[in-house]
Copies of this chain bind each other. A is one copy, B any other.
Amino acid sequence: MPVGTLATVKGISTEQLGRTGAQMVLSNTYHLHLQPGEEIVAAAGGLHRFMGWNGPMLTDSGGFQVFSLGDLNKIDDRGVVFRNPRDGRTIDMTPEHATQIQIALGADVAMAFDQCPPYPATENDVIDACRRTHAWLERCVTAHTREDQALFGIVQGGCFPHLRRESAMAVASFDLPGIAVGGVSVGEPAEEMHRIVRDVTPLLPSHKPRYLMGIGTLREMAIAVANGIDLFDCVLPTRLGRHGTALVGGERWNLRNARFRHDHTPLDPSCSCVACTGHTRAYLHHLIRSEELLGLTLLSIHNITHLVRFTSAMAQAIRDGCFSEDFAPWEPDSPAHHTW
């Protein structure tokens, strides 16, 4: 899922986004609550109509942003009180409130309000966060009254294997239509994250979508898919694009680099996006050097297309029964980065 924080995937029109092959778009409850406010999105007929996206959508619960971005005043079992960084206003966020906002936003999937502990965190802090996350999940389930919207629970547990397993079983017991693994990609080493995925995923119902939050790179996604993950979200393709970086093969290319100045070949000859079929590396280099908006747009389109191609290739390999052979990312000499 490309990330459309404020009901727009940064720099890309919905038409351009559709042509990347992306299906589901994530948007952020925390940000949309602050601007423009869920009542405006609801009055527009919901998030799909507000932003003009006809594909499926998911809203996160805002938990991650409240804990990582908010100026926290108070946190207890009831919920979180924080200060809006835009206007200093005090905002009271509870599992019920986060659920009501998401009901008003009207995405296809809403996420439970959770407490995401930072990395590193003590075992006691993570135990507290898990207890609260599970108690809040129960309150979210009760508050979630919209039948045409799915509610996913979120597994926490930091880097403590037994807490991860406990959390996975606690969340799975709610029998929700999908489950996410949260609290990853928060600064922990990549190997920790992979271990969490290996430990947790087998405990989640295999017939329901499993969503790894905030991931990722090609390697991370391949490892996660090998362990049974179905869904990802990541700001990486658009954030890299806005910084003039293109994902090509398994590499990251800084298009500002002088080596592209005279390079009149396509960015990635194997890619069918508009940046690769309609333009050249020299032109993209020129746009990035000139700080032209179109450069950021074209690179973001390419990067999303690149990740969508990779996930589509994995899906095809699974259908063809050759995923382990073609994408075995746990092998040191994995061909994952050059066979798709």
**Residues of B contacting A278 with CB < 8 Å?**
14-15, 52
**Residues of B contacting A274 with CB < 8 Å?**
13, 15
Q: Which of A8-34 contact B (CB under 8 A)?
A: 8, 10-16
| Known pairs A36-B289, A52-B279, A283-B44; A294 contacts B8 (CB<8 A) | yes
Q: Is A201 positioned at the interface, with any CB of B under 8 Å from its CB?
A: no
Q: Is A226 positioned at the interface, with any CB of B under 8 Å from its CB?
A: no
- Whether the pair B7, A286 counts as a contact (CB closer than 8 A) is yes
Q: When each residue 276-303 of chain A gets 1 if its CB lies under 8 Å from chain B and 0 otherwise, what string results? A: 0011101101110110111011100000
**Residues of B contacting A296 with CB < 8 Å?**
293
Q: What are 11 A-B pairs at a CB distance below 8 A?
A: A8-B290, A8-B292, A11-B293, A36-B261, A40-B261, A40-B282, A43-B262, A44-B283, A50-B282, A52-B278, A293-B296
Copies in the complex: 2
Q: When each residue 242-284 of chain A gets 1 if its CB lies under 8 Å from chain B and 0 otherwise, what string results? A: 0000000000000000000110100000000010001110110
**Residues of B contacting A172 with CB < 8 Å?**
none
**Residues of B contacting A142 with CB < 8 Å?**
none
- Which of B6, B43, B280 has a CB less than 8 Å from the CB of A292? B6
- Which of B10, B44, B289 has a CB less than 8 Å from the CB of A282? B44
Cα distance A224–B130 in the bound complex, in angstroms: 71
Counting contact residues on chain A (CB < 8 A from B), the size range is 35 or more
Q: Is A206 positioned at the interface, with any CB of B under 8 Å from its CB?
A: no
Q: Is A51 positioned at the interface, with any CB of B under 8 Å from its CB?
A: yes
Interface centre among A286, A287, A289 (most CB of B within 10 A): A286
Shortest CB-to-CB span from A69 to chain B, Å, is: 15
Q: Is A35 positioned at the interface, with any CB of B under 8 Å from its CB?
A: yes
- Which of B12, B14, B264 has a CB less than 8 Å from the CB of A43? B264
| Known pairs A15-B274, A262-B40; A7 contacts B283 (CB<8 A) | yes
- Whether the pair B44, A264 counts as a contact (CB closer than 8 A) is yes
- Whether the pair A52, B283 counts as a contact (CB closer than 8 A) is yes
- Whether the pair A290, B13 counts as a contact (CB closer than 8 A) is no
- Whether the pair A283, B43 counts as a contact (CB closer than 8 A) is no
- Whether the pair A287, B8 counts as a contact (CB closer than 8 A) is yes
**Residues of B contacting A262 with CB < 8 Å?**
40, 43
Cα distance A50–B16 in the bound complex, in angstroms: 21
Cα distance A290–B7 in the bound complex, in angstroms: 10
